[in-house]
Amino acid sequence: MLNVGNSEGVQLQSKLFRGFGDPARLNILQVLRNGPMTVSEIVAATCMSQSNTSNHLRCLRECGLVAAEQQGKFALYRLSDDRVGDLLALGESLLADVARGVYECTRYSSPQDISAGQKIK
């Protein structure tokens, strides 16, 4: 029953950033910077499965990071706000200077990097 990040603002903001913190969702957001895309196009661009893409799109849509527009049997998704792209750009700018540290960070970090590395036993 710990109260980590007890402030409502921190909780909400962490959920917002979590939208950017998952590789699959970030991948979707990045490809949408090129302009609106249908789900099929996003699937092709990200090489993710259809259900996985749709699952994450729902999350991104509910969180207001992307917006969807139904067009016949297609669903056209777009970044909902310029600041979403701004955040991605700012993240890129920052990453350009801290990339080495991020890459080497193994604690509380990306699972793929750990499993790809040597196992310690």
Partner DNA sequence: ATAATATATCAACGTATCATGATATATAAA
Partner DNA sequence: TTTATATATCATGATACGTTGATATATTAT
Among 51, 70, 72, 96, binds its own copies (CB under 8 A): 96
Comparing CA positions, the residue from 42, 44, 14, 40 lying closest to residue 29 is 42
What does the chain come to in residues?
Answer: 121
> Taking CB under 8 A as the rule, does residue 93 contact its own copies?
yes
For the bound state, the minimum distance from the C-beta of residue 89 to DNA, rounded and expressed in Å, comes to 22
Among 7, 51, 70, 118, binds its own copies (CB under 8 A): 7
Which partner in its own copies, DNA, none is near 103 (CB below 5 to 8 A by kind)? its own copies
Distance CA(47)–CA(42), nearest Å, equals: 8
38: exposed, middle or buried (C-beta count within 10 Å: 0-12, 13-18, 19+)? middle
Pick what 79 binds: its own copies, DNA, none; C-beta below 5 to 8 Å, kind-dependent. none
Q: Should residue 114 be labelled a site residue for its own copies when binding is judged by CB under 8 A?
A: no
